Amino acid sequence: MAVRSLKKHFDAESKLFSKAKLFVHAVDEVSFDVEEGGSLGLVGESGCGKTTTGRVIVQLEKPTSGEILFKGRNISEFNKSEQMKYHREVQMVFQDPYESLNPRMTVFEIITEPLNINGIGTRRQKEERARSFLNQVGISPAETFLSRYPHELSGGQRQRVAIARALVLEPVFLVADEPTSMLDVSVRTGVMELMLKLQEEFKMSYLYITHDLAVARYMCHRIAVMYLGKIVEVGETEEILSNAQHPYTRALLSAVSVPDPRVRRTQPAIKGDISKPVNPLPECRFLQRCPVATDYCRQNPHPPLVEIDEGHLVSCYEATDEA
């Protein structure tokens, strides 16, 4: 899976008496690759555009411009049968298991709905597949859960059912949108370990969306840090965590809890909250919150992603010695 110069802009409500058209630049010139069998963690605060990126990839949103390449082909050029195959091979696990499951459907109906849509299998074959995937995701004995409704399940069980639904078509690429953030701490690790096991077993690739760098480290081979619709740093997981160059990445790292009172945070704190990227100015998106911004940053457009080491790219004039 490859994303090239992807944009997704939404209409924003214009100010009273204003003739200027306003747009939210939710995703703005985003590019990245996810290797076959690999995993990329898309990391950032709420509102940075990471979920929208995932929704565009699975075609729940239409891109404003840019390309999504699947197995080397632009998905916008797929015919109807190729689109159907793409939807079978690319699936999504949503953040909230309390909202993503239809409360009027049984577990059996939820898991087999993708099979019904694609006209796959007889009733008996669907039952066998539903039982098989429930067992795969750690819900057993499966027979006792097939007739249950979502309200009869715990949060962890609901998310496991959602994962089973995403896997029932045996996809090769999975977009996981913060799949553990709504769960109790006691069950998060179990779900993450399950997803790693299933990735190995089914040879899947992941785009793992999260706000937590610690989770990204546990789950992903590579990390891309996103801020206000832009990728600001990307590289191998351990390289990003040990040698972060963008001030926003460093700020995210400093927010990760360290269970040692002797360890002091050395990175300067960033101020304020992330704002909405409505008709953003051409300067660096992080300019208003950046603790190391210079006049050069204020006088130039948003910095491009520059490779500073093999596979390690950063979008920052200060980090690339241009400031």
Mean pLDDT, residues 294-298 taken together: 95
- Provide the pLDDT confidence category of residue 182 given band limits of 50, 70 and 90: confident
Is the model more confident about 294 or about 257?
Answer: 294
DSSP reduced 3-state for 269: coil
Mean pLDDT, residues 138-165 taken together: 94
Domains and CATH numbers, the chain: 2-246 (3.40.50.300)
Residue 307: per-residue pLDDT: 96
Quickly count helices (H) and strands (E) in the chain.
10, 12
In the predicted model, is pLDDT for residue 267 greater than 70? no
Residue 262: per-residue pLDDT: 46
Q: Virtual CA dihedral for 141, 145, 151, 156, nearest 10 degrees?
A: 40
Residue 263: per-residue pLDDT: 45
pLDDT digits (tens, 9 = 90+) for 188-204: 899 999 999 999 999 99
- Provide the pLDDT confidence category of residue 260 given band limits of 50, 70 and 90: very low
- Provide the pLDDT confidence category of residue 323 given band limits of 50, 70 and 90: low
For the beta sheet containing 22-33, the strands, ordered from the edge strand earlier in sequence to the opposite edge, are 22-33, 2-12, 65-70, 73-74
Q: What size, in residues, is the chain?
A: 323
In the predicted model, is pLDDT for residue 268 greater than 70? no
Residue 272: per-residue pLDDT: 72
- Provide the pLDDT confidence category of residue 51 given band limits of 50, 70 and 90: very high
- Provide the pLDDT confidence category of residue 88 given band limits of 50, 70 and 90: very high
Nearest to 229 by CA among 63, 17, 89, 60: 63
Mean pLDDT, residues 100-115 taken together: 96
Tokens found for residue 188 = 């998060």
Residue 273: per-residue pLDDT: 73
Give the number of other Cβ atoms within 10 Å of residue 277's Cβ. 23
Nearest to 179 by CA among 127, 167, 168, 169: 167
Mean pLDDT of all residues in the chain? 91
Contact (CB, 8 A) for 223 and 235: yes
Mean pLDDT, residues 71-95 taken together: 96
Residue 43: per-residue pLDDT: 98
